[in-house]
Structure 1
Amino acid sequence: MTTPVSISNPSSFCGFIWSGPRAHDQKSADRRMATDEGYEAMIGEGMKNLSFNEIQKEQEVLHGITDNVDLSESATDELLLTLTGHLNRLKKGSAYETAERKSTAHAANRDLQMAFLRANRFHPKESAEKIIKFFNMKQDLFGEESLNRDITAQDLNDDDMKALSEGYFQYSPFRDRSGRKLLLTFPGLRTTGNVRAELRVRYYAMANCVETLVDISKGVVVVNYMVKQYQDRWDSAGYIEATELFNVVPLNTAGIHTCVCTKMESMIINACVALMPYRTRVKSKVHLGSHVECQYLLATYGITKGALPLRGANHDMDLTYWNTWFQQRKIQEQREHPSRIQFHRNSSSMESSSIASQLNKNNNAAIVSHGPMSSISGNENDVLCLGRIVKRMGNERLHSLGLLYATAYDNGSVADRRKIVNGIIDEIHRHGGRFLKPDSSSDARSLDDDESPPRLKELSLNEQRTKVMQLFRNLRRRQARGNGPVSTAPALAESSSSSSVPATSSSALPALTPSGTLAVSSETSPQQPPMIVSRPNPEDVLFGQQNENPGNQLLRELVGSLSEEYNRAGRGEKKKIAAQLANSIHESGGRFLKPMDDGRWEIAPFEVACDKISKHFRNIRRKR
């Protein structure tokens, strides 16, 4: 009879995992022990708590063949109401209750709650439990004063910065074949074993992962790589704590892959798997073998060899992308609104922020009503629906996106149009904007009145869609009259360090998909008006010779590291590699800019960006 798993009793746990016949060949024994009946029994123990349909659903998620859930507004409101009820029952004495006393606008923020609901498959009770644990974890790691503000690079001390620079926990510059973000851990890069610093870095990195995912329900895939030189040197210190942190952050875990080369790491990872929720256990895979064997097994799940930052025959670590991501993240934090709150955007109590009040005064911003408990300062990224032209960054961004996708929208099917509309809404939200209109008790004209700014309210999702569709109708009418609108893209791009097209969501703008292909037909793309910027950002890739912009340097590093793989690839694979690199530049906040005669810059289309990358590969081959 098999002994039950007990984390509190390591000896019984080890006996459970490694019971069974031994092989004479140690390598064969190790491989069997990672996948023997003991391990399968532990996974099966968790599966007994799930129905057959639930197990089938989780397996579909693991293999990237699941569809995203699109809830109606009434269903969303009902879920949020149920979630609030669970929170009220669970919050007593918790850090969440403390955060709620400080600012309801933060603790009870709709975007934050929806992130947890999506990450937990719209189970309100599970989401409420995770929210409580999440705030407790945040307080433990960063103190009570952090409960109602951003966790930025300024909160990281010297130990944290050292742990971050090691690259032990990092993002991949690429995604898996289903377009999901990859979170990578390399325990062998840990040099200090400072568990608390590593946890703080994990929190910081995962928080920004949630923030940049347009569609949280798409999920992320975790790869723990512990092969050869990347085996842990610190006796797995902090593994349990890291698992607990991962379980409370609102990430929809689409899969967890652990690559090991000895039975000891397999045993430790099995212990961590036993701590995970049942749904997560089903999506956990342990791969035992050499570098080549593990990378082959990962490829069967859509995680290509190039997605790992390992270079050369010795599989050496390349931290170029990770270091660049952090530097660009710090630049982005300096540019963003100082009162922006992580996991959601533009939600800060004016009463508790003198900076927000000063910005409100300087920008003549309106006051947005979100119910009787709070009022929130509007920001330049909001779209004001006033029935007239508004010189505001959010309105100009919406207008520029309408110009960019007008032809594709007019020629597209109903499904294509829906995807474009939803993608534009996602893009406005990604920049921290909302769709606002005057409250019925306010006069839109008072926006120009310094003394009495109007009260605004946020449009429902259906109203936002109607607004975007109305924009396309207006553009079509103006085009029919022969006086097409003038692009306001310069003002749009000056404030944004990222491409206008996100690459992360099934409902995102279709010009840039995770595979790097254009969803809009090639016949319509040349007719779309160009987007112009007055000055480049450090993360942009600039066309022209001998350009030393940081974005160009990053591109050269990425091209150099993948040149051998590119040269071996066939024509179709070469296009995919170029598209993946273009996606990684876009993801890091960069654009591909072509110089114009008047000193401004034109944002190059995606195909042109891929051609430039291919030219880089060809130049390297010629020099050799």
Structure 2
Amino acid sequence: MSTLDKQFRDSSCLCSNTTARNPTNSFLFPQKGDQKGKEEVDTLLSEALNGLTFEERQMHQEVVHGVEDKIAEEEIFIKTRLKELDETLLLIKAGSNYQAAKTMNREYVTARSLRLMFLRANRYDSKAAAHQMLSFFDAKQRLFGMDKLAKDITVEDLDDDDLECLRSGFLQLAGRDSADRQVMFELPGLRVAKTLLNELRARYYIMMSVVESERNQLRGHIGVCWTIGEYREKQIGHPENIELVAAIPIHCSAVHFCTDEIGKYVICKMLVKAMSNQFRVRFTPHFGSHLECSYRLCTYGIATAMLPFTSGTNQVILDYHNNWVLSRLAKQDKSKPALFRSLPPPLRVPITETRDADVLFNSGEKSCNAGNERLRALVKSLIPQYTSGTNDKKKVIVDGLIDDVIGNEGGRFLKKQNGPSDGWEELRPEQSRAKVTQMFRNLKRQSSTRKSITDGIPISDEPHPDDVVFGNLQRSRGSEFLQQLITDRSKVYDTLDRGMKIKVVEEIARRIKDKGVRFLQAIPESGGWVEVSNDDACKRISKYFRNKRRSIKRG
């Protein structure tokens, strides 16, 4: 059993013993001694720091404040740790749900990607990773049964009550901190689960959606529990929730507990006492108002703007979370249409303040927002895989980028509203998908244009009126003639097989060339032109036909 798993299990046992039947229990009903209890919590945390060496204390403080070095994995090291993990599992797996899952689907259970999740979650402690794997499959079996033990859990595996709990917003993703770690924000007062099982299944699904990202596996996550005002815990936390969190393969870098109720702060005393010194130094309770706790989180790299509240108030905003739920449902082909329709459309919510992580679309204008710059860089890095991939592969790449912006970055896809308003509206998942897909097409076209310029023959004179000029907003007479030829032949062209389409394109290019017309490409940087090859001209003409077909379908 891993250290982290053990400390959570120990603390969960302690929590279960405090299920109050005595109304005078001071942990539930604050008494005069609460201030003393608060001081004891602070003392325990201070002693935990003092009990470490200077180097250990420095390391843990860097982790909590998000300034530690990023992990660089070396293949030899990883192979060694994977081998150690397999050897440990061989010794402890007998009679476990892990062994049962391996019998059912060996490929799934022994996949390198799955085993790496557990190694990364335990910072490459092979023995701890092995014990967590066993805990993970035990938890999975209890929540979803044996028939789903050896498969990924998707939306289809959640029932309507699970989904209602999922959409409640009791646990949601709130962007990334200054150290690029996913922030998981919990609002206990929003719990609406009909049964504990519903809540556990929803929590499992949300946390595993975070683990899907290799980036999150490497960087870990930050937990924030917000029990301020109406979001205070309505009941004692269930130990099963703590056990489940310990079983999920993602590294917890730090936990922040925010409360405005002194009695809740004192509850921390139970948890802190059950923690090891190594984890105790990463647990930070904050006592104060909404504003005070927000400011304190800022000092740990968690920006106020990413918290799911109306600016300056303790009023929660669920629009971002609803959009995340919509994106997950859309990714699963809207397998739960009733819930999909019941969620409020995010685009109806007026947005006046944008975030750095948002991707902004403003009537064709290029945005320099950090979210746009980052998405453009990701699209550029993935263009080889996208170009060579099948349609299904392209969809996976696009959906992955959307999930990264929404689920990992805390961003939104926003479009400038029409009219006098300066506000923004949030795009639906299918609109976001269309926008990202178009970004790939545009980049591919730009790459093709650059190649045309490189391979083309520079001309010294100005284009003639009858020349066909690509990449020029002012259409020449020759360009208009080409468009007319395409319009006249588009219906017939769409009915032909590929071989005949090529002949039609070559015939159009030959007919234009026979008139002494050149195919030219504008060079934006210099303002000049190059004459493109016949093959390149044919590719452009074929693309014009495809664009014509798309415009007819849209019309």
Distance 1:157 1:603, change over 3 A: farther
Question: Residues of 2 paired with 1:206 and 1:279: CA distance?
Answer: 23
Letter in 2 for 1:112: L
Q: Give the structure 1 partner of residue 250 of structure 2.
A: 251
Equivalent residue of 1:254, what SS?
strand
Distance, in Å, in 2 between the alignment partners of 1:54 and 1:544 is 52
Number of residue pairs the alignment of both structures matches: 382
- Identify if the C-alpha distance between structure 1 residues 38 and 541 changes in structure 2 by more than 3 Å, giving closer, same or farther: closer
* Higher RCO by CA contacts (8 Å cutoff, separation 6 or greater): 2
- 8 Å Cα contact 2:182-2:409 kept in structure 1: no
Q: State how far apart, in whole Å, the 1-side matches of 2:49 and 2:159 are.
A: 39
* Partner residue in 2 for 1:181: 182
1:214 aligns with 2:215: yes
The whole-number CA distance in structure 2 between the counterparts of 1:428 and 1:127 is 35
Q: 1:497 aligns with which of 387, 394, 398?
A: 398
1:501–1:183 Cα change, 3 Å: closer
Contact 1:592 1:604 in 2 (8 A): no
Match of 1:41 in 2: 44
Map of 1:224 onto structure 2: 225
Structure 2 counterparts to residues 343-492 of structure 1, below 5 A = none
CA distance in 2, matches of 1:196, 1:46: 37
How does 1:434-583 map onto structure 2 within 5 Å? 496-498=397-399, 545=418, 553-554=425-426
Deviations 1:567-621 (A, max 9, x none): xxxxxxxxxxxxxxxxxx99x975756989xxx877999xxxxxxxxxxxxxxxx
- Shift of the 219–88 alpha-carbon distance from structure 1 to 2, 3 Å rule, reads same
CA 1:603–1:252 in structure 2 vs 1: closer, same or farther (change >3 Å)? farther
Matches within 5 A, 1:53-452: 53-172=55-174, 174-192=175-193, 194-233=195-234, 235-238=235-238, 240-276=239-275, 278-334=277-333
SS at match of 1:316: coil
Q: Give, in whole Å, the separation in 2 of the partners of 1:106 and 1:31.
A: 52
CA displacement at 1:222 relative to structure 2:
0.7
Change (3 A) 1:223 1:265: same
What amino acid does structure 2 have at the position aligned with 1:167? G
1:553, CA displacement in angstroms?
Answer: 3.8
Check whether the contact 2:228–2:289 (CA below 8 A) recurs between aligned residues.
Answer: yes
* Equivalent residue letter for 2:207: M
Q: Tell me, what secondary structure is at the counterpart of 2:256?
A: strand
SS at match of 1:214: helix
Query: How much does 1:223 deviate?
Result: 0.5
Q: CA deviation at 1:203?
A: 0.3
From the CA coordinates, give the structure whose radius of gyration is larger.
Answer: 2
Q: CA deviation at 1:423?
A: 8.1
Code of the residue aligned with 2:218 in structure 1: it is S
TM-score between the two structures when normalised by the length of structure 1: 0.53
Per-residue deviation, residues 84-134 of structure 1 (Å, max 9, x unmatched): 111111111111011111122111221111111111111111111111101
What do residues 252-291 of structure 1 show as CA deviations (whole Å, max 9, x unaligned)?
1111001011132223344344555653322110001111
User: 1:207–1:192: structure 2 CA closer, same or farther, 3 Å change rule?
Assistant: closer
Is the CA contact 1:18–1:38 (under 8 Å) kept in the aligned structure 2?
A: no
- Show CA shifts across 1:128-186 (max 9, x none): 111110110111111111111121111111221221121111111x3212221110110
The Cα offsets for residues 13-46 of structure 1, whole Å up to 9 and x where unpaired, read as x9xx999xx99xx7xx856643x23453267469
The 1:88–1:31 alpha-carbon spacing in structure 2 relative to 1, beyond 3 Å, is same
Partners in 1 of 2:432 and 2:284 — Cα distance? 32
Distance 1:183 1:428 in 2: 31
Q: Secondary structure at the match of 1:59?
A: helix
Q: What is residue 529 of structure 2 aligned with on the other side?
A: none
Measured against aligned partners, the alpha-carbon deviations of 1:378-412 in whole angstroms (never above 9, x if no partner) come to: xxxxxxxxxxxxxxxxxxxxxxxxxxxxxxxxxxx
What is the alpha-carbon distance in structure 1 between the residues aligned to residue 332 and residue 204 of structure 2? 16
Deviation at 1:72, TM superposition (A): 2.1
Deviations 1:520-577 (A, max 9, x none): xxxxxxxxxxxxxxxxxxx96568958xxxxx74269xxxxxxxxxxxxxxxxxxxxx
Of all paired residues, the percent bearing the same amino acid is 28
Q: Point out the structure with the larger helix share.
A: 2
| Cα distance, 1:47–1:137 mapped onto 2, change above 3 Å | farther
CA distance, structure 2, for counterparts of residue 73 and residue 428 of structure 1 = 26
The secondary structure found in structure 2 opposite 1:331 is helix
Change (3 A) 1:276 1:428: farther
CA contact (8 A) 2:161 2:193 kept: no
Amino acid at match of 1:282: V
Give the AA of the match of 2:109.
A
- TM-score relative to the length of structure 2: 0.59
Say whether the 8 Å CA contact 1:177–1:515 is kept in structure 2.
no
Distance in 2 separating the partners of 1:100 and 1:165: 33
CA distance in structure 1 between the aligned counterparts of 2:66 and 2:214, rounded to whole angstroms: 16
Secondary structure, counterpart of 2:70 in structure 1: coil
Q: Report the secondary structure of 1:334's partner residue.
A: coil
Q: Secondary structure at the residue paired with 2:278?
A: helix
